């Protein structure tokens, strides 16, 4: 018997962001850029998900205009006339297919190592110096360069609005630069950007405030947050709900409109002292709309084997847990990741109750854009 999935297909609005449903394509780095530029194939890939019924497409991380912002091969940039012209064409294609589009603007911080383009000689940067085998591979950011990076985030957001995007997302999760300042393990600075949680928040607050000033007041700023890191599933930037409240209050005051709460399993409790999920707590404590993500539509959470290979995941056709959370207002939107890589028509099939036609995820799907 088909599940009642009507809650997934009700409209949502926040400022100028007007969505036909509650389904978001999660940002996923696919490494298919050409000379750091988005390609026509990438545009087709995003357009295809909008045609399949996705309300909001958030592109995989696109780097801001800073010499050390990138840390991976074939990742697109979100600056420069040629790149922005290509992004504008992608935005228009998604719009024509009935969807909305938001870029996820990104600085990888200390995850960068020398040898990666566009400038292979450039080391990584982050809150702290990092040495590996006696080599200085990551340098601690000086305050003057922090100002440059904050301005680069603002410029990228301004450009996003100028080319017709419907919102912008700041990647503040998974162990990248904004998250590195937030997490005590990667931020042991002794100046005003380190130490207390309030100090560790300073960089994120400056980024959000700068972006808020750079865009129209009704242009939504989405902030993606996570406790876990790609290399540490047990990490916590907030050790309890009191610390979580401090983080959220500061970011809301700075100008965040929507929080994108990344977990590996969206239904698990955030802390040991209560049953609330992280998405539900963020919504309750911030008073802002929340996008939840984490194993929606699949039988296995985001995982890698010992070789670093993504693990396969079967289809999860029981939507009751997701629908109950939406009906309970635990969150407002749900982001679908690997399930949309496997099946661009996931929204249409779910709406029609065609669960037997949903396709499972396999690592082989990552080798091409489909």
Which pLDDT score, from 0 to 100, does residue 138 have? 97
pLDDT tens-digit series, residues 227-238: 999 889 899 999
Which pLDDT score, from 0 to 100, does residue 314 have? 78
DSSP output for 87-148: HHHHHHHHHHTT-EEE-EEE--GGG--TT-SSSTTPPEEESS-EEETTEEEEEEPPHHHHHH
Q: What are phi and psi of 53, to 5 degrees?
A: 115, 5
Which pLDDT score, from 0 to 100, does residue 1 have? 44
Mean pLDDT of the chain: 94
Which pLDDT score, from 0 to 100, does residue 319 have? 87
287: left (phi over 0), alpha (psi -120 to 50) or beta: left
- Given the structure tokens 């110096």, which residue do they identify? 129
Radius of gyration of the chain (CA): 19
* Tokens representing residue 114 in the block: 């020398």
Lowest-confidence range among 48-62, 175-189, 313-327? 313-327
Coil/strand/helix, residue 190: coil
Q: Does the pLDDT value for residue 2 go beyond 70?
A: no
| Positive/negative CA dihedral, 197, 203, 209, 211 | negative
Per-residue buried b or exposed e for 240-256, using 16+ beta carbons within 10 Å of the residue's own CB: ebeebbbbbebbbebbb
Q: Does the pLDDT value for residue 201 go beyond 90?
A: yes
Give dist(CA 224, CA 211) in Å, integer.
Answer: 14
Q: 54 with 24: CB under 8 angstroms?
A: yes
Give dist(CA 7, CA 46) in Å, integer.
Answer: 24
Give dist(CA 136, CA 66) in Å, integer.
Answer: 19
Lowest-confidence range among 50-54, 111-115, 309-313? 309-313
Which pLDDT score, from 0 to 100, does residue 175 have? 96
Q: Does the pLDDT value for residue 297 go beyond 60?
A: yes
Query: CB-based contacts of 142: which residues, under 8 Å, 6+ apart?
Result: none
User: Beta strand pairing status for 23-25 and 62-63?
Assistant: unpaired
* Tokens representing residue 244 in the block: 């979580």
Longest dimension (CA), the chain: 62
% of the chain at pLDDT higher than 70 = 96
Cα 172 versus chain centre, distance:
7
Nearest to 128 by CA among 223, 200, 65: 200
Cα 324 versus chain centre, distance:
24
pLDDT band at 306; cut points 50, 70, 90: very low
Give dist(CA 336, CA 294) in Å, integer.
Answer: 8
Domain boundaries, the chain: 6-367
Give dist(CA 366, CA 30) in Å, integer.
Answer: 7
Q: Does the pLDDT value for residue 309 go beyond 90?
A: no
Query: CB-based contacts of 242: which residues, under 8 Å, 6+ apart?
Result: none
Which superfamily, per CATH, for 6-367?
Aldolase class I (3.20.20.70)
| Positive/negative CA dihedral, 216, 212, 152, 89 | negative
């Amino acid at each position: 018997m088909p599940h009642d999935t009507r809650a997934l297909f009700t409209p949502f609005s926040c400022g100028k962001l007007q969505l036909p449903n509650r389904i978001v394509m999660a940002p996923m780095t696919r490494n298919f850029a050409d000379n750091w530029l988005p390609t026509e194939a990438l545009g087709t890939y995003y357009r295809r998900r909008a045609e399949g019924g996705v309300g909001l497409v958030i592109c995989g991380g696109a780097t801001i205009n800073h010499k050390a912002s990138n840390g991976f091969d074939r990742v697109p940039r979100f600056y420069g006339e040629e790149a922005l012209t290509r992004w504008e064409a992608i935005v228009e294609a998604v719009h024509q297919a009935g969807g909305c589009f938001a870029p996820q603007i990104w600085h990888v911080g200390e995850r960068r190592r020398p040898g990666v383009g566009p400038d292979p000689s450039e080391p990584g940067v982050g809150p702290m110096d990092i040495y590996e085998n006696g080599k200085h591979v990551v340098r601690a950011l000086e305050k003057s360069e922090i100002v440059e990076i904050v301005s680069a985030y603002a410029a990228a957001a301004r450009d996003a609005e100028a080319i017709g995007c419907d919102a912008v997302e700041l990647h503040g999760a998974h162990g990248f630069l904004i998250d590195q300042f937030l997490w005590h393990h990667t931020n042991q600075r002794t100046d005003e950007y380190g130490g207390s949680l309030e100090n560790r928040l300073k960089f994120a607050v400056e980024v959000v405030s700068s972006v808020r000033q750079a865009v129209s007041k009704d242009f939504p700023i989405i902030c993606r947050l996570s406790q876990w890191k790609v290399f540490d599933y047990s990490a916590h930037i907030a050790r309890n709900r009191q610390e979580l409240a401090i983080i959220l209050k500061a970011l809301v005051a700075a100008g965040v409109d929507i929080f994108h709460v990344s977990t590996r399993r969206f239904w698990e409790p955030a802390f040991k002292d209560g049953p609330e999920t992280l998405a539900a707590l963020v919504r309750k404590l911030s008073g802002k709309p929340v996008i939840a993500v984490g194993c929606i539509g699949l039988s296995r959470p985001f995982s890698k084997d010992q070789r670093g290979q993504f693990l396969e995941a079967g289809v999860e056709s029981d939507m009751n847990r997701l629908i109950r959370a939406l009906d309970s207002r635990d969150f407002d939107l749900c982001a679908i990741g690997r399930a949309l890589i496997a099946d661009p028509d996931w929204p249409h099939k779910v709406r029609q109750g065609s669960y037997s036609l949903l396709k499972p995820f396999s690592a082989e799907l990552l080798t091409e854009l489909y």
